[in-house]
Structure 1
Amino acid sequence: MRFGKTLKNTVYPPWKGKYIDYTKLKTLLREHDVTGDASDSDDSQWTEQDEEAFVQELLNVQMDKVNTFQSETSQQLRERTSACEAKLRPLAPSAEGESVVLDEIEKRKMATEILEELDSITKEVSELEKYSRINFTGFLKAAKKHDRKRGTHYRVMSLVQVRLSQLPFNSEDYSPLVHRLSVMYSFVRETLTEDIVPPSKEPERGFGHDAYSSYKFWVHPDNVLEVKTFILRRLPVLIYNPGTSKNVETFDDPTITSLYFDSPRFDLYNQKVARAPEAGSLRLRWTGQLKDKPSIYLEKKIVTDSDTSREVKVQLKEKHIKEFLDDEYHLDKRVHRMEDMNNGESVEAESLKKDVEELQSFIKENDLQPMVRANYTRTAFQIPGDDRIRISLDTNLAMIREDSLDSDRPCRDPSQWHRTDLDDGEMTYPFGAIRTGEIVRFPHALLEIKLRGKAHQAEWINDLMASHLVKEAPRFSKFAHGVAELFENYVNSFPFWLGEVDTDIRRDPETAFYEEQERLAKRAEEEIAVGSFLGGTGSPGTHHISGSPFSRWNEYGGPSSFCRTSAVTEVPAKRRLSHIEPQQRAVQPPAPAPVEPVFEQEPPSRMTKIMQSLSLSKPSWMEREAVTLPPGVRHPGVWIKDTGPVRVESKVWLANQRTFIKWLHISILLSSLSLGLYNAAGKHNQIAHALAVVYTFFALFSAAWGWYMYEKRSRLIRQRSGKDLDNLFGPMVVCVGLAVALVLNFAFKYKAVLEQSRDNKPFEPSPGLPIHNTTMLDAAWRAQSHAQQIL
């Protein structure tokens, strides 16, 4: 899609007129007056006044307009946020633990109004980030178009880049504002729900230790802020504050470093990619820079066959890490301290000793050493004290080599447990000082959703999973991706997602909706097929999954019924949690009212199957019924594939022309055959005359059919039609007709020979089809052969 149309579709209606005037810039550039070769005659028409007018409009008028609007809007959003904070202050308890006494109705009314204002601010923050990005792209597009058209004598790209670096409209960080909104969202939700009967503490056994269902997704950088604002309306942001500052605006998302271990043979990587049972991994993890002396954890993770995991973790100081890895340090002082506090007997001390022994034996048995470092910025979402829903969003992900496999040029000093050049130099993303080949920057953000217990019933989570903002990436691993990208010559197997990393994962919302419908319809067909063998109504297609977007609550408090059959096309656009283990799904009983399918499809007859195999009937994908669109979604009118100029590969046109020439060849052969047969026939040989007319008819039919199909296929190609281009009628008519004519001609000649032999007369070839004239027979067979090739 051209940028002008993209800009038009991206405009936020209340801000119309505040975007870059891309049409005016193209008019000043006089794009349509310039040919593609940018000849000297074209440049001679472009004067200094034209160049000055374009540069003035681009660098001063348009950039100043966009920058002023962005700055003013950003300031207004901060002021509106501060106003909401001021309104909420009377509801918050004071330093002495007291709060202003307000009427409960007035209190709830105020909280509801503030919640609506927060929704409005959050929406505009997301739109402002899109506004900055699309305008930034517009300025670069305009400069690139100028240099391509007028680059022989004038160039403005460098000026545009310098000017953009001086303006903050595309580099402003909205994270502090997002954090403030998250805090207020959390407070307002508590205010609105404190007078309602609090939800009973569900007796979920082993709080904090139950198995989680984990879902991983990729997020395009253009959609990161929108995903953040979508989540923070339901979950607060966990703020990482290593210092003592109480100013929320100084809180930044933490930078996390994970240092992964493996053997020189990459045994742990191969086990992880092959999904071997009891596959394990080992990493060192810390937050921030090592100079700040953060807490460092050594973690071992074992994944079992049932996709559950077990972790062993100990906390270490930086000065003891090398000794611990070399099996020279065993946390003896910490163990003795625990035993002294409990009079020599401590469950914690025994557990710690067991963990230390397991970790050190795991390192020694597998000959593990640091191999890959993953550095990323994490934004975490979770309700404090409630870990049923945990969401993390990792951005600025970079994988860096930490190995010492190459003795001539090691990435890490073998005597050290980490790369000192990175940590001593306090390098941060994008790590520009690292040598080429030692770093790979992941192009997307990573979203991980962990759900426990009844958290699967949250409908907004299903909406996020099924939206166009994310792309599902099951089993994605930073460790596996880093090894596959950085040690390509050392490993012979790669993870399945590697080929999709460089693709554009952005999707149009309507396209995402149709893709989800097709996926659900296909699953429904499979479930009905399986249910037909099970018998009765116990088909999986009639189950109601609690917490999935398919269950809708009716006016009586129960889930409304739905039935998915091969004929049902009204399916919602939200994704069902298909990866939840069966034992984690809560199955609701079917609604009292029976559900009848729209229709039942009879099994196709044998003739129907034969006709389908010959492509004489429409394929199944052309017989899809029109789907019912949800509210707010309209039919696009013109498909994306039908927009823009028609570009057809040369081989497509040449194939159509080659087929037409084949038909002309058949027509010429049949014309020659009929002419020779007619000239060789006598005056009284009516049979030969009749056959000559038949061959002439087939010659004319071949020429007419070839021209008709050539025009039809050309029209379908120009229209980008999805219809089939093949047609069996013409080739079958020619083949069958020639075969019948040749058989009749042979029968007549054979009959004449028999009659002459009975009269004891020497055989004289009659002027039908001369037997000695092999050229005509050869022409007939060649014509039939060409028709069979086309068939």
Structure 2
Amino acid sequence: MRFGQQLRSSLLKDWYYYYIAYDDLKAQLKTDFVTAPTKTNPKPNRKPWTEDNERRFVRELEQELGKVADFQEVKSREIVQRIKASEKEVNDVVSRAERQAADELRGSQVDAPTEEDFLLLEEDLSDIIADVHDLAKFVQLNYTGFQKIIKKHDKQTSWHLKPVFAARLKAKPFFKDNYDAFIVKLSKLYDLVRTRGNPVKGDSSAGGKQQNFVRQTTKYWVHPDNITEVKLILMKHLPVLVFNANKEWDPSDSAISSIYYDNTDTWELYMGRLKKTEGAEAIRLRWYGGMNEDNIFIERKTHREDWTGEKSVKARFKLKEKNVNDYLSGKLTVESIFEKDRREGKKSEKAIDEEEQLAREIQYRVITRRLVPVTRSFYHRTAFQLPGDARVRVSLDSELTMIREDNLDGKTRAGKNWRRPDAGIDFPFKKVPQEDLELFPYAVLEVKLQTQAGQEPPQWIRDLTACHLVEAVPKFSKFIHGTATLNPNRIHLIPFWMPQMDVDIRKPITHKFGIDRPGQSTDISTSGNMDPDSDDDDFEDEEPPVVEENEDLRRLRAARDALEQHDLEQRRDYGTASNGEVNGAAGNSLDVEERIAAAPNTANDYPLYDSDDEDEELANHELEEARRVGGLHYYQTIAKHHIVNLGSKLSSMGKKLSPHGSTMPVQTTQLGIPKYTGETKRFKAPPGKRIHVPVRIEPKVHLATERTFLAWLEFSIILASIAAALLNFGDGLALLSAWAFTLVAAAAMLYSLGLYLWRVRMTRKRRAVSYHDWFGPSVLCFGLLVSVAVSFGLRVGGGAGNKGGLKG
């Protein structure tokens, strides 16, 4: 959807005149015609762009910038005043409720707050929340509008205004307001009203003191345009988790930094976490807040496969920053770390013993495996959780940044220290060289549940994770992503989500879900499918008509109605769910990845994350190794290589000749989403790299491979026994039949042995290949049919010949 259309359909009626006049600015980029349009020449050339045109355009642009910035500032101050007024009213009602509870114990009567009082407060807070949401969307739309009109100006006129206007934007940074302070205050007030003055009590820092974590975690990406909206939705169901309620909220309170360790020769921790091997570990040092924080948490995350009956767990202990280097080098003994805890007796002996054992194991691994700092992750985390209750915890990590910590290229970053000193928490880290940074483009939403077996998560969580605001990315890891992107010359196996980094994750709205204003329907979100990088540079030669106010409002309503109707038609196009409901009514429309996962595929069992050059690279590597070895091994490898190439060519020719081998043309909707679910998208790995596809290997897979091999052997032995019986007890004709059965039995044995060895090798490497064998059973049945036919034919032919001889 073009930005002009998106702006017209998404702006708010009450704020109509405060948005950027995008169409007017766009019209000013057109100069007058050189000659008047005629029937023979309806589109004559326009006059060149002059300095007067530039001066007039810049003047109009600055007026629009001032209008937008002033409105944003006024509206922001208004929200602050409304929050203060609501805070006073909420405290008054809650204090009356507390006095009522106290006076009831003494038997006196007080003017207690009614349910209507709380409902009015909740309605007022919901209206403020909607204002924060609308202001965030207002800022996002206008900022995108300024960026796009500048881009259009520079491209159309060849006058470069972008560097100059960047300074003007810095002078009026209306787009840099952080709404986290609003969200924290509104969360506290809304929680008080929702619980009728009885919020859940508990230790807000329980998560920080907990030593072992066992949770079911799912991860999602959130586009920056949708971050505030997602936070406001979460805030209405769970309060923002504030660790120190007695302290005024500060942005540094939500800052979290982690430094991951690995062996830079083998990258064993990276590979283990990427492949999700049983017992794979991640060792990191984490601190909350700024660089002056004294408490450092030493953590170890251990992955456990489901078949082990154990759960993946994160264990950690606390250490003073001044002792970290000595601890990692082995100079500081583990016993001395916990000597103070034992002396004070604040922790149980069992807890101290567990932490001491953990510290001893981590120290041993760091020293013996030569682990060094490799990657730092930084982000601001907004956590939503009931204090002291970790059953449902949702966190949103924004401004995610990965930073190099190693010294591999000769540059001294961390040196002998456990972290580099030049990277603090000042996002976007202008003091750090750009080649050492990876600014992640999305926020990361983590939903962590501690539910009992068979228990469903809350409905609002299912609605959120199924809506258009989030994109599911299972098993996403900050450590894996940062290490892979910051070490492109050393890491050759990359995670499966890397090819999707340049794909816009924003999706069209599938159903009304979001922030509701009391008494009104939900406004259409601006997070539809607006592409900020699209070039809608098709300038119409007709001048835009001058529209009166009533006409503008009429067009505004018509555009909204058209977009809603388009949503309904698009949900019908996407198909229906298994229960007969439209996908949009039951959840969000299937995105590209979900449709591919749900669609049957006859060509390949694992088509999604594929490197077309992977097999070729492996084959070339095998040929190079065989050439070094030489001799018979080299000739065998050459022969195998040519046979594989010949088989691939024959297979591709067969697919082209087959009527089912052709692909359907991709039909797309207006928003560019394919309509049918049979579409398969293949992602290519960058040159010299391979994409790791998550493949789950359990012990039953190996056992199934062995059972299949033994079944083949059993069948081959039966055929060989038939051949031996014919050979020992048959006549001359039976000898030929025995040979036929013997050949089939020997071929089945050799084929099953090769297939078994190949499957074992592929499962051990966790390769995403098709393990289904459609060739072997077919050829075996055909060979058995030929053997029986030969035996039967010889017997019938021999019998007829004998009868003919007797008759003669």
Q: TM-score when scaled to structure 1?
A: 0.60
Q: Compared with structure 1, are the counterparts of its residues 342 and 412 closer, same or farther at alpha carbon in structure 2 (3 Å cutoff)?
A: closer
Q: Compared with structure 1, are the counterparts of its residues 317 and 117 closer, same or farther at alpha carbon in structure 2 (3 Å cutoff)?
A: same
CA contact (8 A) 1:227 1:469 kept: yes
Structure 1 position 165, deviation (Å): 1.4
Structure 1 position 144, deviation (Å): 2.8
Distance of 2:198 and 2:574 partners within structure 1: 38
Structure 1 residue aligned with 2:152: 145
Correspondence 1:437 to 2:435: yes
Structure 1 residue aligned with 2:387: 384
Q: Compared with structure 1, are the counterparts of its residues 338 and 286 closer, same or farther at alpha carbon in structure 2 (3 Å cutoff)?
A: closer
**Counterpart of 1:160 in structure 2: which amino acid?**
F
Structure 1 position 84, deviation (Å): 1.2
Structure 2 residue aligned with 1:91: 93
CA contact (8 A) 2:97 2:197 kept: no
Please give the secondary structure, in 2, of the residue aligned with 1:420.
Answer: coil
Q: Compared with structure 1, are the counterparts of its residues 71 and 331 closer, same or farther at alpha carbon in structure 2 (3 Å cutoff)?
A: same
Q: Which runs of 5+ in 1 are unaligned?
A: 36-40, 199-206, 525-563, 578-612, 623-635, 644-791
CA contact (8 A) 2:575 2:582 kept: no
Please give the secondary structure, in 2, of the residue aligned with 1:351.
Answer: helix
Structure 2 residue aligned with 1:75: 77
Structure 1 residue aligned with 2:14: 14
Q: Compared with structure 1, are the counterparts of its residues 259 and 194 closer, same or farther at alpha carbon in structure 2 (3 Å cutoff)?
A: closer
**Counterpart of 2:166 in structure 1: which amino acid?**
Q
Please give the secondary structure, in 2, of the residue aligned with 1:304.
Answer: coil
Structure 1 position 393, deviation (Å): 0.8
Q: Deviations over 1:444-468 (max 9, x none)?
A: 1111010112674311101110111
Structure scoring higher RCO (CA < 8 A, sep ≥ 6) equals: 2
Structure 1 position 340, deviation (Å): 4.7
Structure 1 position 368, deviation (Å): 1.3
Q: Which runs of 5+ in 2 are unaligned?
A: 36-43, 104-108, 202-209, 512-527, 529-566, 591-657, 675-808
Q: Compared with structure 1, are the counterparts of its residues 427 and 247 closer, same or farther at alpha carbon in structure 2 (3 Å cutoff)?
A: closer
Structure 1 residue aligned with 2:126: 119
Q: Deviations over 1:137-196 (max 9, x none)?
A: 222322332333333xx554344322221113212221111111111111011107789x
Please give the secondary structure, in 2, of the residue aligned with 1:92.
Answer: helix
Please give the secondary structure, in 2, of the residue aligned with 1:395.
Answer: strand
Correspondence 1:161 to 2:159: no
Q: How does 1:364-375 map to 2 (within 5 A)?
A: 364-375=367-378
Structure 2 residue aligned with 1:695: none
CA contact (8 A) 1:93 1:99 kept: no
Structure 1 position 18, deviation (Å): 2.1
Q: Compared with structure 1, are the counterparts of its residues 34 and 517 closer, same or farther at alpha carbon in structure 2 (3 Å cutoff)?
A: farther
CA contact (8 A) 1:321 1:417 kept: yes
Q: Compared with structure 1, are the counterparts of its residues 210 and 365 closer, same or farther at alpha carbon in structure 2 (3 Å cutoff)?
A: closer
Structure 1 residue aligned with 2:217: 214
Structure 1 position 209, deviation (Å): 6.8
Q: Compared with structure 1, are the counterparts of its residues 385 and 155 closer, same or farther at alpha carbon in structure 2 (3 Å cutoff)?
A: same
Structure 2 residue aligned with 1:764: none
Q: Deviations over 1:212-262 (max 9, x none)?
A: 211100111111111111100111112355xx96445x4655211101011
CA contact (8 A) 1:144 1:157 kept: yes
Distance of 2:151 and 2:316 partners within structure 1: 53
**Counterpart of 1:327 in structure 2: which amino acid?**
G
Please give the secondary structure, in 2, of the residue aligned with 1:283.
Answer: strand
Structure 1 residue aligned with 2:281: 280
Q: Compared with structure 1, are the counterparts of its residues 192 and 97 closer, same or farther at alpha carbon in structure 2 (3 Å cutoff)?
A: closer
Q: Compared with structure 1, are the counterparts of its residues 97 and 347 closer, same or farther at alpha carbon in structure 2 (3 Å cutoff)?
A: farther
Structure 1 position 619, deviation (Å): 8.5
Moved over 6 A (4+): 94-105, 192-195, 207-210, 342-345, 511-520, 615-622
Q: Deviations over 1:319-352 (max 9, x none)?
A: 2111111222124345444545669993334323
Structure 2 residue aligned with 1:498: 498
Structure 1 position 135, deviation (Å): 1.1
CA contact (8 A) 1:516 1:573 kept: no
Please give the secondary structure, in 1, of the residue aligned with 2:74.
Answer: helix
Structure 1 position 125, deviation (Å): 0.8
Distance of 1:228 and 1:618 partners within structure 2: 42
**Counterpart of 2:21 in structure 1: which amino acid?**
D
Q: Compared with structure 1, are the counterparts of its residues 352 and 150 closer, same or farther at alpha carbon in structure 2 (3 Å cutoff)?
A: closer
Correspondence 1:459 to 2:459: yes
Specify which of 557, 564, 573 is matched with residue 586 of structure 2: 573
Structure 1 residue aligned with 2:136: 129
Q: TM-score when scaled to structure 2?
A: 0.59
Moved more, 251-260 or 45-54: 45-54
Larger radius of gyration: 1
CA contact (8 A) 2:31 2:48 kept: no
Q: Compared with structure 1, are the counterparts of its residues 169 and 341 closer, same or farther at alpha carbon in structure 2 (3 Å cutoff)?
A: closer
Distance of 1:46 and 1:340 partners within structure 2: 81
Distance of 2:255 and 2:173 partners within structure 1: 23
**Counterpart of 1:131 in structure 2: which amino acid?**
F
CA contact (8 A) 1:287 1:294 kept: no
Please give the secondary structure, in 1, of the residue aligned with 2:128.
Answer: helix
**Counterpart of 2:670 in structure 1: which amino acid?**
W
Structure 1 position 55, deviation (Å): 2.5
**Counterpart of 1:128 in structure 2: which amino acid?**
L
Structure 2 residue aligned with 1:397: 400
Q: How does 1:48-63 map to 2 (within 5 A)?
A: 49-60=52-63, 62-63=64-65
CA RMSD, Structure 1 to Structure 2 (Å):
4.1
Structure 1 position 518, deviation (Å): 9.0
Q: Compared with structure 1, are the counterparts of its residues 43 and 323 closer, same or farther at alpha carbon in structure 2 (3 Å cutoff)?
A: same
User: Across the two proteins, how many residue pairs are aligned to each other?
Assistant: 526
Distance of 1:304 and 1:255 partners within structure 2: 29
CA contact (8 A) 1:232 1:381 kept: yes
**Counterpart of 1:405 in structure 2: which amino acid?**
L
CA contact (8 A) 2:380 2:400 kept: yes
Structure 1 residue aligned with 2:484: 484
Q: How does 1:251-270 map to 2 (within 5 A)?
A: 253-264=253-264, 265-270=266-271
Moved more, 154-163 or 128-137: 154-163
Structure 2 residue aligned with 1:186: 191
Please give the secondary structure, in 2, of the residue aligned with 1:510.
Answer: coil
Please give the secondary structure, in 2, of the residue aligned with 1:397.
Answer: strand
Q: Deviations over 1:384-427 (max 9, x none)?
A: 12211111111111111111234x334321x22221233xxx46
